[in-house]
Amino acid sequence: MFSPRLDGRVNRPHVKICGLKTEADIDAVLSRGSSQVGLVHFPPSPRHLSIEDMMRLRTHVGGRALVTVVTVDASDEDLHRITERVRPDILQLHGSESPVRAAEVSAITGVSLMKALSVSSEADLDAIARFRPFVDRILLDAKRPVGSALPGGNGVAFDWRILDAMGEDRDFTLSGGINVGNVAAVVARVQPRGLDVSSGVEREPGVKDIGMIHRFFDALDAAHDETLSPEPERRTA
């Protein structure tokens, strides 16, 4: 069973703020050390961007961070258009794509892949091993709530204790309901390699709040600094 490191030290996770839609949002997250920015190309989502808008924002990012484009069961035609015009560093497959489809996407695009897996029980973690040979990164997200048309960005978390079944394997990005109020607990309890945050820094669906972005990173930095603080020396009589 997974347990935190005995010395209390936790690596600061990589952070991807997803669903960014403006240059100001991008500048805010990059100013705080975010290693990835996420652009969503899925029309039902309030965070959806056209190819042209993604191209503009991709140019704005330049080489300051990795650019991830989130797709949901995209067609070959859409994948070609995204890779040729937007030139993302990573394609995130956030639909019902199978391992076979992931292999096809890899062959079609030649782009690094992240596969999002919906989790609600330990049994759902079995899919990780099936996808690892075909993708470069795994993202674990909560299952969509009843009535939601969105596979992600719903602002709900799953029971992190499920992840104890993975032992010491922390090689995944955690998503689902992460916000300023619980990021310290995520860092201390789960210790994922990466965090994916979207609705947790929004004032309404699809609208990022720069103040919330800064408060989130303040909380993350404070949580990380706390794990690195040495214990006070014990005095002996």
Burial of 149 (0-12, 13-18, 19+ CB in 10 A): exposed
Out of 89, 126, 141, 218, pick the active-site residue.
141
What does the CA dihedral 188, 29, 194, 144 come to, rounded to 10 degrees? Answer: 100
Measured distance CA(200)–CA(209) in Å, rounded: 10
Q: In b/e form, how buried is each residue of 203-217, taking b as 16+ CB within 10 angstroms?
A: eeebebebebbbbbb
Cα→Cα distances 33→3, 148, 171, 186, Å:
27, 32, 20, 18
Out of 18, 76, 78, 126, pick the active-site residue.
18
Active site annotation includes 76: no
C-alpha angle 32/34/36, rounded to 5°?
A: 155
Sequence-ordered strand ranges (E) for 90-183: 90-93, 112-119, 137-142, 173-175
Active site annotation includes 164: no
Cα→Cα distances 78→55, 82, 85, 195, 221, Å:
14, 6, 11, 27, 38
In the chain, the amino acid numbered 205 is P
Catalytic residues: 18, 141
